[in-house]
Structure 1
Amino acid sequence: MKAIPGRIRIIGGNLRNSRLNVPDLPGLRPTPERVRETLFNWLAPTIAGVRALDLCAGTGALGLEALSRGASTVQFVEPERAAADALRGNLARLKAQGGEVSSNDAAHFLRGAPQPFGLVFLDPPFAAQLWASLAHQLEQGGWLAKTAQIYVESPRGAELALPSNWMLHREGHAGEVRYALYRRLQDVPLS
């Protein structure tokens, strides 16, 4: 099913088939349903009860999908006011418990007091090229649980300089987008 402009849907869990209102903003690129379905099939054994961080939330589709499927909490970080307001509105309308929205820039948010998360969605605006800087802030700032999983969405073919203790678990491609799930290892020296 293709998303209607301005609306996308949650594809699984207790909020399944709920529609999300999406503001029309330049550069807003919701993760496609097919990619979300694949990702959450990968995450199915570990999603229940996890604390998640949707770092560059945009529409919040990834974090809302996580809440729908049993994540205990999701911290959404989104600096664009219209997107953050739409996300708050969707959380309230769906009565989704455990979601909190921070109207903040991702890098600024990560300079705050760390709270370890077991699952992080790292899908920054492609034009900003923030993967390496945000990944290293996550790793060095104490934001990741010992065995955290990190989802990274990037342009196909992009060379990403991620922390050396993030081990690729699974990956796929959808058009010009690469999506990958990494597992954080504790006993690998950082480079």
Structure 2
Amino acid sequence: MTGTLRIVAGEWRGRKLAAPPGDATRPTADRTRETLFSMLVSRLGDFEGLKVADLFAGSGALGLEALSRGAESCLFVDQDAAAIRAIRTNIANLRAQTRSDVRACSVMSLGPAKEPLDLVLLDPPYETGAGAVAVDKLARLGWIAESTWVCLETAKGENISIKGFEAETQRDVGKARLHLLRRTA
């Protein structure tokens, strides 16, 4: 990874984030995050009071960006030990412990949801299909309702198709493709 990872906007704008060492994770670039959150703001208005999940979380940058912009809470899930350490470091540095739930496990091992989330952010390894499989499972387990926005980041040029979901929009940014998805009725 090149450059410094920072919060783009909100309460913690400009604050630096720790990224896990090595190349096991690929943190979402600031420019890609800025584009994603611009796409979300144009649809959501703001993040006040939203319940969010950052899945395949890596550094936790996506979830922390949502918290910085006013989200009520964020569930961070990653199975990589170095990623979990980076997420916990970032949460502690921003004093966001009371609004954060960190789970060191596979996204696929999450059980049924107590209630659906407002926004689900997924940044799985590129070209694996893991994001589509996770979205399908999370919908069946009650994490994703018809009102939930789902953002799945894939490699540029990677197309996805998930039964019961439609792409509201997609945008290529650098090496990434951002898919905003909604459940179909």
- Whether TM exceeds 0.5 here: the answer is yes
Q: Is the 8 A contact 2:20 2:83 kept in 1?
A: yes
* 2:181 equivalent in structure 1: 182
Runs of 5+ unmatched residues, structure 1: none
* 2:102 equivalent in structure 1: 101
TM-fit CA distance, 1:182: 1.6
Whole-angstrom distance in 1 between the partners of 2:58 and 2:117? 19
Determine whether 1:173 maps to 2:172: yes
Q: 1:160 to 1:127 in 2, by over 3 A?
A: closer
Whole-angstrom distance in 1 between the partners of 2:12 and 2:182? 27
Determine whether 1:18 maps to 2:23: no
Q: Is the 8 A contact 1:153 1:179 kept in 2?
A: yes
- Show the 5 A alignment for 1:26-65: 26-44=23-41, 45-65=45-65
- Show the 5 A alignment for 1:32-181: 32-44=29-41, 45-96=45-96, 97-109=98-110, 112-115=111-114, 116-126=116-126, 128-164=128-164, 166-181=165-180
Q: Is the 8 A contact 2:59 2:83 kept in 1?
A: yes
Point out 4+ residue stretches in structure 1 off by more than 6 angstroms: none
Q: Is the 8 A contact 1:131 1:162 kept in 2?
A: no
Whole-angstrom distance in 1 between the partners of 2:89 and 2:14? 17
Identical positions, percent: 36
Q: Deviations over 1:68-125 (max 9, x none)?
A: 001100000011111101111110111124111100111012xx13131110011111
Q: 1:159 to 1:42 in 2, by over 3 A?
A: closer
Q: Deviations over 1:158-186 (max 9, x none)?
A: 2323133x23222211233211212233x
The secondary structure found in structure 2 opposite 1:58 is coil
| Of 155-164 and 76-85, the range deviating more from structure 2 | 155-164
The secondary structure found in structure 2 opposite 1:137 is helix
TM-fit CA distance, 1:46: 4.2
For these two proteins, the number of residue pairs brought into alignment is 180
Amino acid aligned to 2:122? L
TM-fit CA distance, 1:3: 5.3
Q: Is the 8 A contact 2:166 2:181 kept in 1?
A: yes
